[in-house]
Amino acid sequence: MFLYLLQTSPLIALAWVVAILVSLTVHEFSHALVGRMRGDHTAERAGRLTLNPLAHLDLYGFIPLLLLGFGWAKPVPFNPYNLKNPKWDSVIIALAGPLSNFLLAIVAGFMLRGLFVAGVGMESLLLVIFLVLLVILNLSLMLFNVIPVHPLDGSKLFFALFDAPRYEELRRFVAERGPQLLLILVVLSLLTDIDIFFFITYPAYVLCDALTGDSCIGLLSSFI
């Protein structure tokens, strides 16, 4: 989509880039902030407790996200031995990222509602596009990252909930096969027209419609 936008609507392409950078930065910053709040200063010492996008940017993950819709930012480090409660504090730090994306989507959604109420003029068109992209992107990041597969954030909650000895086989399967299955799904989604991640895209658009009070697919279709 990015290359097409770059050729047809450079300003919308720029809005897409900025939306990605903002979303990834807020996500990773939230990991670092909550880590410090829970007693670990590893991310802060690594220069990750910042809203500077360059501190969180991983070009190997950013470029595929920009071009293909799948990618990653630079992981935020933390040391569980510095935490007050390593098991559950690790979960809190992990879920801080998806939660921040959800909160950012809410803020962007209500800003969009405000623009609609005020009566959007052509001078606000780019801002509307940016906010719609921001809502969709953050909801998608939230839903994708709570998948209970390493290295996604949801895996921390999964392994904390299923840490009893009787779940050892399940934990091993998820740890060993989960990333492989996730990679297969990503490849299939890129090589086919099948909506492999319908369990992310459908809820994301439903939530987007609820937050903005309008059809997000309709808004994107009218702009792109």
Q: Which residues are catalytic, by number?
A: 28
Q: Indicate the angle between helix axes 216-223 and 125-145, nearest 10 degrees.
A: 130
Alpha helices in 86-167 (DSSP H): 86-118, 125-145, 154-161
CA distance 190 to 30: 29
**DSSP letters for 35-72:** HHHTT--HHHHTT-SS--HHHH--HHHHHHHHHHS---
Distances (CA, A) of 99 to 30, 90, 103, 140, 173: 9, 14, 6, 12, 27
Cα torsion angle, 100, 186, 207, 133, sign: positive
